[in-house]
């Protein structure tokens, strides 16, 4: 169960990172900070 939750979280992070690199390469630093806050 925990493994599945972690996989979903990682999939979401990968999705965000893909959006990040496609649309807002200039905002990478800020965006990564937001992602880190959502994980914790």
Please report the pLDDT score of residue 3 as a whole number. Answer: 85
Q: How many CB atoms lie within 10 A of CB 18?
A: 10
pLDDT tens digits, 1-40: 688 898 999 898 888 888 777 766 666 677 777 777 876 5
Going by C-beta distance under 8 Å and a sequence separation of 6 or more, which residues neighbour residue 39?
9, 13
**CA-CA distance, 33 to 24, in Å (whole number)?**
14
Please report the pLDDT score of residue 20 as a whole number. Answer: 73
pTM over 0.85: no
């Amino acid at each position: 169960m925990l493994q599945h939750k972690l996989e979903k979280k990682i999939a979401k992070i990968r999705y965000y990172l893909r959006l990040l690199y496609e649309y807002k390469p200039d905002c990478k630093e800020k965006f990564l900070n937001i992602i880190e806050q959502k994980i914790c």
